[in-house]
Structure 1
Amino acid sequence: MISTAEIISVLKGEITALHVGQAFSPETAEEITANFLRNRGLKERKDGVPGQYVGASHYRKDATAYFAEAESVRPFVEALFGDLLDPVRGLFDALRRELLRHGIELRLARSEQRQANICRAICWSGAGAYTLEPHDDVAQVLCAGKDYELSAVANNTVVALNFYPSMPEEGGNLRIWSHKPTATDRRSQGVEATGYPYSTAYLETVPWHDFELKGGDIALIDGGFVHGVTQQSGGGKPRLLLNCFFGFARPDLVLWWT
């Protein structure tokens, strides 16, 4: 299982990425996948990023809309796990206990009345060279707006945490490029507010690394680096991930959201 010390190293920017194989059981992975496919909250994304999802995303939403959506879809997110021992909450609770030993609070991001969900479930469905186009996760946090408390995390490491209940036989790799875009870089690509997508031409000479994932794996990355999902083989198993973000908002506070 992934160690909390390694997670904290990613949080502090000391490690760029972690890949943990077989971090949760095949039985748990299969049950979550079945719960996703029959979930009454399953929707198609309509924000320009192709995919199916259960849950809420702060991407291109103001805080009022995001937290209202998080509240309304919470039963569907909980239905992903049913009576299972939830691997996402298990990791969250273990990390919270470890950070508390160092005087650091870990909690879900919130507004005055509502709070974020612990994860969202996604099947990316891009049809080109990438199932999910190359992007960074910092721009969307930087531009989230002052009504979000999570905006402060953009000054530190924005960590993307992915659990993979199901993976196709071929492709669907998590690709990370050795490039952390600046504000100037984003302007040059016209992605200041979203960090999505970076062109293939822009990344042509940048070295990259692929994480070849299997069902039951976990990956954490510094979301400031450009990353995407390679094309996957048709048919067979879906590429399903449970995703969330977290990072330091203050030296004594780590926020978690979707």
Structure 2
Amino acid sequence: MKTDQKSQTPAISPLKLTERTDSISTAEIISVLKGDITGLHIKRGFSSEVAEEITANFFRNPGLKERKDGVPGQYVGASHYRKDAGTYFAQSEDARSFVDALFGGLVDPVHGVFDALKRELHIQGIELRLARSADGQANVCRALSWSGTGPYALEPHDDVAQVVSAGSNYELTAVAEHTVVALNFYASMPDEGGNVRIWGHKPTVTDRRSQGVETTGYPYAAAYLDAFPCHDFQLKAGDIVLFDGGFVHGVTRQSGNGKRRLLLNCFFGFARPDLVLWWT
């Protein structure tokens, strides 16, 4: 009986985190991609001027929309969350010009990371490309401003459940067998709060089922997470964070005054030993 109880106890997973200042390196990105480290926080990873311009482009973007999938926030771009492949890729194509408009003529950090990683992986005999289907291909990122008003601006969740449950028409479901990396570029941050909190817990299918989040990974109850250690990435505009999205993570409550929290987000991971897919 004791053995059964232990087997059903959610496991604590060690957090292997790195934080530093200055530009990001492809070697560090690959360390997260291969699961060697859990997360990486690069402070001042891109310029405040670029961050401010992206923020202005977001709030005047004609493609700005309110999310209507149960996750409160505004966005520009497309999300595969709770969508079949046909719908997601069609929406990605429809949103492409709006995503491009986030950057204007800027030399932006998202394309910079994508291009640098693509070159490095090519040297290693690995292809990096945007996920695609007959209906189109993914965008390089989406822009998000979470607006939850409870204890979390974005409630605790994991990013693997939505990939596992994406469906057979998605090529990206294969990434769930490896590390699903979440990559975030912070264009604007409030004066207080809005930090990424990551817990030392990488849920299994059984764990998700016990919490009723088997297909979405969202949201995990605060009481469930009390048993796990956590770490807050203290964020400012211009920071870059990437981490293993299989670990439960959320966004802490943000102050209601002053600047809004805005990030550019994407996901990537190995679909095969010779192929890394990138999507939103």
TM normalised by structure 1 equals 0.99
- What's the counterpart of residue 51 of structure 2? 29
Secondary structure at the residue paired with 1:254? strand
Alignment of 1:60-71 (within 5 A): 60-71=82-93
- What's the counterpart of residue 186 of structure 2? 164
Alignment of 1:36-115 (within 5 A): 36-115=58-137
2:172 to 150, 163, 174: 150
Q: Deviation at 1:235?
A: 1.4
Amino acid of the structure 2 residue aligned with 1:204:
D
Q: Report how many aligned residue pairs link the two structures.
A: 258
Residues 86 and 135, structure 2, Cα contact 8 Å, conserved in 1? no
Distance 2:162 2:195 in 1: 23
Residue deviations 1:143-188 (CA, integer Å, cap 9, x gap): 0001000000000000000000100111001000000000000000
**Higher Cα Rg, which structure:** 2
2:275 to 236, 253, 258: 253
**Aligned-residue identity in percent:** 76
Distance 1:248 1:115 in 2: 17
Amino acid of the structure 1 residue aligned with 2:223:
A
Q: Deviation at 1:113?
A: 4.4
- What's the counterpart of residue 14 of structure 2? none
- What's the counterpart of residue 213 of structure 1? 235
Show structure 1 runs of 5+ residues with no match.
Answer: none
Secondary structure at the residue paired with 2:185? strand
1:230 to 252, 267, 273: 252
Distance 1:174 1:131 in 2: 10
Residue deviations 1:69-97 (CA, integer Å, cap 9, x gap): 00001010000000101210011000000
Distance 1:82 1:242 in 2: 15
Residue deviations 1:24-68 (CA, integer Å, cap 9, x gap): 111100000000010000000000000000000000000000000
| Runs of 4 or more consecutive aligned structure 1 residues displaced over 3 Å after TM superposition | none
Residues 90 and 135, structure 2, Cα contact 8 Å, conserved in 1? no
Q: Deviation at 1:204?
A: 1.1
Q: Deviation at 1:112?
A: 2.1
- What's the counterpart of residue 173 of structure 1? 195
Show structure 2 runs of 5+ residues with no match.
Answer: 1-22
